[in-house]
């Protein structure tokens, strides 16, 4: 169950990385406002996914689901930041 949840989060995060990279490389002027909007949207979606998995998991797995999901989200966000940092800094 933990692996399935993290795969789903990773796939959605990969889509966000590709979207942010394409927007940054095309020079569409993705500013900090759009970056924060994408981040907020991803956090809401990831929270819903983690919540759904917690509802159907046994109680002793809740902490593992939360920790692994949040670590996955943080890693994905750092990768996205490295991919788009040059364009966002200009």
* Secondary structure of 11-34 as H, E, C letters: HHHHHHHHHHHHHHHCCCCCCHHH
Q: What is the DSSP letter of 60?
A: G
- Which H or E run includes 59? none
Tens digits of per-residue pLDDT, 31-52? 667 777 778 888 899 999 999 9
Domain count of the fold of the chain? 1
Angle at 59 between CA 57 and CA 60, to 5 degrees: 105
Is residue 20 a contact partner of residue 80, using CB atoms and an 8 Å limit? Answer: yes
Domain residues for the domain of 65 are 2-89
Looking at residue 29, what is its pLDDT? 58
| Residue predicted with more confidence, 87 or 78 | 78
At 68, is the pLDDT very low, low, confident or very high (cuts 50, 70, 90)?
very high
pLDDT above 60 (res 28): no
């Amino acid at each position: 169950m933990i692996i399935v949840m993290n795969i789903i989060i990773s796939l959605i995060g990969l889509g966000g990385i590709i979207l942010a990279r394409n927007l940054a490389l095309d020079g569409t002027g993705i500013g900090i406002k759009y970056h924060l909007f994408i981040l907020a949207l991803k956090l809401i979606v990831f929270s819903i996914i983690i919540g759904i998995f917690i509802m159907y998991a046994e109680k002793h797995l809740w902490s593992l689901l939360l920790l692994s999901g949040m670590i996955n989200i943080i890693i994905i966000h750092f990768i996205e930041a490295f991919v788009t940092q040059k364009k966002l800094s200009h």
